[in-house]
Structure 1
Amino acid sequence: MRYDLEYLSIPNVVRRAAETYGDALALVDGDIRWSFRELEQQMVQGVRAALALGVSTGDRVGICAPNRAEWIVAALAVQGAGGIVVPLNTRFKAAELAFILRKSGTKALFAAPFLDIDYVAELRQHEPELDALRTTVSLAAERGDADYSWNEFLAKGKGKGEDSAHASIDRITPDTVSDIMFTSGTTGHPKGVVLTHGQSLRAYGWMAEQYTFHTGDVYLVVPPFFHCFGYKAGWLASFLHGVTVAPMAMFDAGRALEIVEQERVSIMLGPPTIFQDLLAAPDRARRDTSSLRISMTGGTTIPEQLIHAMKDELSFDIVMSAYGLTEASALVTTTRLGDSPATVASGNGRRIPDVDVRIADDAGKPVPAGGTGEIQVRGYTVTSGYWDEPEATSAAIGDDGWLRTGDIGSLDDEGNLAVVDRKKDMFIVGGFNAYPAEIERLLLDYGPVAEAAVIGVPDDRLGEVGCAYLVLRPGETATAADVITWSRANMANFKVPRDVRFVDHLPRNASRKVLKHELRDIYDAGDA
């Protein structure tokens, strides 16, 4: 099935689900237990309110909140009004959020406090630079520093009829932009990946079908909604197939096991760390995990022994692996049913239908099977470009449509992809992409630091963490603890270097580019 042609838009998925699945349970979040009909009612009420708020075709609207029912309704409301959702990373600090809001020209912001951070209050200091931002809405019952509480926002829709909401949804086509997913890059600042309703419907409708999602399944969504993993492979894929969504705001292994038992959870996708934590949880043995059926781990390599443990000790029947990047709708390849644990652990599966994958040498020419080179992707999942970044778009996507991922990999004779190196210097911290250029830029804001270079180094639990090599300004002093404390206050936690080393100078080539491979050699030798 072509899910884009069948469903047309993300809000229309909810309307169709209400018709098809009716009173079946759509969403479980604390005291909220909505059927698919009730979810549609919530969405329509939200679209009416968004229209009353002034959201119209092409308007960008940010959402900064942990996984919760209101996040989903807010996204559907914005999209139903013709707007474009800009998901915001809840780990970002105010300056990082302000950059994205300013870059995207965000008109309104939905937010909810998380981990004692009131995002709206934190952003007040950046108001002068946020010219386009006119309205803030709290996703919580309390208004806080926002212009409207969630209930006050919904009440604004009373002046708009349901017909206006449905008419607005009817105007959306598969080619309408649904969201701008900001992803950091080697330039040191986040770039907005433009994606459409049709791209997401087609990719994740197919993925969920292949993974055997079906009515009666319950999906505990741990990956954050600000990422395609939680949003598109999470609640969107679920609603397409009548699956119940149980959002989890913050992962805790003990609480997750409790929800698995209580709600008979059958689907959990996420980075390997969450499954390692489930296996190590003290109360795992007394929890019933027999309902668990489907898993996919992504974002980093997967030990084969973990796959066996997930099947033998957590009761999963299906464990998949996949490869994707935001610029290609976060889905390029995936393993298939019947692939062995060794195949799942050693590679990232085969290309999805209607998407081409090749390995190219430095000159851009394809290399034969088994050869190593840059992974390049072409097909419907590839973004039309970065928001307001024509030069970056041209650098990433050639005239022939091939997306240069910057990742290094190889394809075997059967088309199985193996990623052998990360996107340039990128490393992955517990499933989150960390980009050295961005972290280095932030570290240079710390007064004593004159030069900074960051590399990813192995970590038993998180897979990789950052190690910062710093050159201090003449006459300045700082300790590793000072740097880490400052970093925790000024950047998202996954970006914070876990190891800080001071050097007299950074190794550079004739073009003054830092030689990261030499820093890795120094680290591996254990010589600070």
Structure 2
Amino acid sequence: MMHPADEAPWRAANAANAVDAAVVAVARCDSARAAVHFGGRILSYGDLDRLADQVACAIARVTTPGTRIAYLGRNSDSCLVLLLAAMRTGTCLVPVNWRLSAQEIAFVLADSEAQWLFVEPEFAPHHVPGGTGAGTGPAGVILSDGLATLTGWAAAQAAAGQGAASLPPYDPAAGFVQLYTSGTTGFPKGVVITNERYSIHVARLGADPARWWIGTRAQDVVLVAMPMFHVSGCGIALEALAVGATIVLLPAFDAPGILHAIGAHRVTRIFLVPAALRIVLELPAVATADLRCLETLMYGGSPITPDLQALADRHLRCRFVHCYGMTEAGGNICVLEQRCDDPEVLRASVGRAIPGTEVRIADPSGRVLPAGFKGEVQLRSPTTFAGYWHNPAATTDAYTADGWMHTGDIGYQDDTGHLFLLDRLGDLIISGGENIYPVEVERLLALHDDIADVAVIGLDHPHWGQVVTACVVPRSGATLTLAAIHEWLDGRLARYKLPRVLHVTDLLPRNAAGKVRRAALREALAEARHVASITD
């Protein structure tokens, strides 16, 4: 079968997002090829193309290019169809993190100005305001029967005959997906990813023959268990469609389900954060599972610890690829194929930049540092994000004057270009692969009547990478417990952002400028053994 990206008419006309062009190309030359396995249903590429076109025509009837449409639900084939429909209509899909609290979801819907909300029934009671899509909140479509409901809605729009069903001209500069990421202000920011920039991203994944394993191949069967409101889940699914591969889509992380799916569908490629990988590999059923089909395991969010690597080596015979990326980069920045014969120091690296991406290390004044010197990791690439939605100041701040993007990470490069990460400028906490900014939690805890002062840090944890730790100064006469804080935060904050460790103190360490010395707190608490903690 011809590689979709090689189909001349699509390349010459530049008439579509590369992912959508590939879906159309495969649908034309190999329509029966399996595109998506989900919930016992198989969508061929012909099916996927037809359904995306049907939904796109309906969206074109009720929106204009640039409109935001939102999806609130777990991973589903409906979400994939909506993504392709957004590409075809010049609209932009906002996959909303269903793990957020009701208040946080309401913020994302309001900030994105979504005119339509496609929502799974589980999340519908609190998030279908019944608007008209014209300024009073998004019009709600409850996907009570998943894809069948979505296509039924599309048919109803066609029957109503409202508006024109013709699709608008392709706009390479239009955003097709808007992913929300936590920000240092404590409020999420919408990262706009455009057709053109993402098309460049998928094209360059196969640009280095010596590192062909960076990208997905047409013969791959790719398991997607990471959430599609993250660049990890969304990106891996789109990369698979861009080469005509087959996706095995799970609604959410499910360790037994992952183990079953690998064997049942002969999965060749998967991405997991280390905490999730450990849960899968500690299942008793791993001992008898046939995992020989798995060829590439990509991981990121935190390194694999030596004990986890030893556990993985006992059960897997696949390639391990450490990925370092971020939403604003459009996906991966650096990758490392981890080999058992690599020197220990090299295995601590996150690898070298992928084709088309430049990485440098700079000091606070912007001076570029030579190999071995620590500073901020900065990158330059034609695939970095177009901007933060309705936030030009933050967009400007994200780039240097000469066009390099700030990552907020501290690291260094060796003489071969391998990148080593050391710390995070923004004190980002990564717990179980989820990004959590301390200020986001601090902002809420500061409203608690019994808390006089608060700082939130991440403490290292063998399973989750880090755990959210609240360091609080109680008001006079108050008694604080972690359970009580959890109860107070219920509904205000996503559960994965809740503090897992509580440290009560009389005073927070601060510098001469009055800023909390987080490093001092981390050092002190890393040695302490008297803090109170609970786990889910």
Length-normalised TM-score, structure 2: 0.88
Aligned to 1:433: 435
Aligned to 1:36: 45
Q: Is the 8 A contact 1:321 1:345 kept in 2?
A: no
Q: Does 1:219 align with 2:227?
A: no
Counterpart CA distance in 2 for 1:407 and 1:446 is 31
Deviations 1:416-466 (A, max 9, x none): 111111242101111111110111112234343332211001122111110
Counterpart CA distance in 2 for 1:2 and 1:340 is 36
Counterpart CA distance in 2 for 1:236 and 1:123 is 27
Aligned to 1:156: 156
Aligned to 1:335: 336
Classify the secondary structure of the residue corresponding to 2:179. strand
2:95 to 87, 101, 107: 87
User: 1:264 and 1:327, CA in 2 relative to 1: closer, same or farther beyond 3 A?
Assistant: same
Q: Is the 8 A contact 1:55 1:78 kept in 2?
A: no
Deviations 1:142-201 (A, max 9, x none): 89xxxx95354122243499xx76x526x2233221122211121111111121112222
Aligned to 2:24: 15
Give the alignment of 1:162-177 within 5 angstroms: 168=167, 171-177=169-175
User: 1:152 and 1:344, CA in 2 relative to 1: closer, same or farther beyond 3 A?
Assistant: farther
Classify the secondary structure of the residue corresponding to 1:490. coil
Aligned to 2:60: 51
Cα root mean square deviation, aligned? 2.9
Larger CA deviation: 377-386 vs 440-449: 440-449
Q: Does 1:107 align with 2:110?
A: no
Aligned to 1:286: 288
Classify the secondary structure of the residue corresponding to 1:512. coil
Counterpart CA distance in 2 for 1:437 and 1:494 is 15
Aligned to 1:64: 72
Counterpart CA distance in 2 for 1:152 and 1:441 is 43
Counterpart CA distance in 1 for 2:341 and 2:119 is 43
Q: What code does the residue aligned with 2:139 have?
A: T
Deviation (angstroms), 1:242: 1.7
Classify the secondary structure of the residue corresponding to 1:335. strand
Deviations 1:203-236 (A, max 9, x none): 234336732533332111011101111111x211
Aligned to 2:512: 510
Q: Is the 8 A contact 1:427 1:434 kept in 2?
A: yes
Q: Is the 8 A contact 2:23 2:244 kept in 1?
A: no
1:259 to 244, 258, 261: 261
User: 1:159 and 1:78, CA in 2 relative to 1: closer, same or farther beyond 3 A?
Assistant: farther
Aligned to 1:196: 194
Q: Does 1:231 align with 2:234?
A: yes
Deviations 1:267-322 (A, max 9, x none): 11121122222221111122211111111111111235544643551232x21112
Deviation (angstroms), 1:99: 1.2
Deviations 1:29-50 (A, max 9, x none): 1231111111111111111221
Deviation (angstroms), 1:139: 2.8
Classify the secondary structure of the residue corresponding to 2:27. helix
Deviations 1:211-264 (A, max 9, x none): 2533332111011101111111x2111111221111111222222111111111
Q: What code does the residue aligned with 1:354 have?
A: G
Q: What code does the residue aligned with 2:229 have?
A: F
Counterpart CA distance in 2 for 1:91 and 1:97 is 9
Deviations 1:83-125 (A, max 9, x none): 0111211110111111112122111111214xxxx43322368
Counterpart CA distance in 2 for 1:13 and 1:137 is 28
Q: What code does the residue aligned with 1:319 have?
A: F
Length-normalised TM-score, structure 1: 0.90
Aligned to 1:186: 184
Give the alignment of 1:304-383 within 5 angstroms: 304=306, 306-307=308-309, 309-316=311-318, 318-335=319-336, 342=344, 345-383=347-385
Counterpart CA distance in 1 for 2:254 and 2:206 is 25
2:502 to 500, 503, 524: 500
User: 1:453 and 1:38, CA in 2 relative to 1: closer, same or farther beyond 3 A?
Assistant: same
Deviations 1:347-375 (A, max 9, x none): 11111222221000121101110111000
Counterpart CA distance in 1 for 2:89 and 2:173 is 15
Larger CA deviation: 336-345 vs 197-206: 336-345
Deviation (angstroms), 1:402: 1.1
Identity of aligned residues (%): 31
User: 1:51 and 1:382, CA in 2 relative to 1: closer, same or farther beyond 3 A?
Assistant: same
Aligned to 2:83: 75
User: 1:505 and 1:363, CA in 2 relative to 1: closer, same or farther beyond 3 A?
Assistant: same
Where structure 2 has 5 or more consecutive residues not aligned to the other structure, the ranges are 532-536
Aligned to 2:251: 249
Q: What code does the residue aligned with 1:198 have?
A: E
Q: Is the 8 A contact 1:61 1:85 kept in 2?
A: yes
Counterpart CA distance in 2 for 1:524 and 1:284 is 33
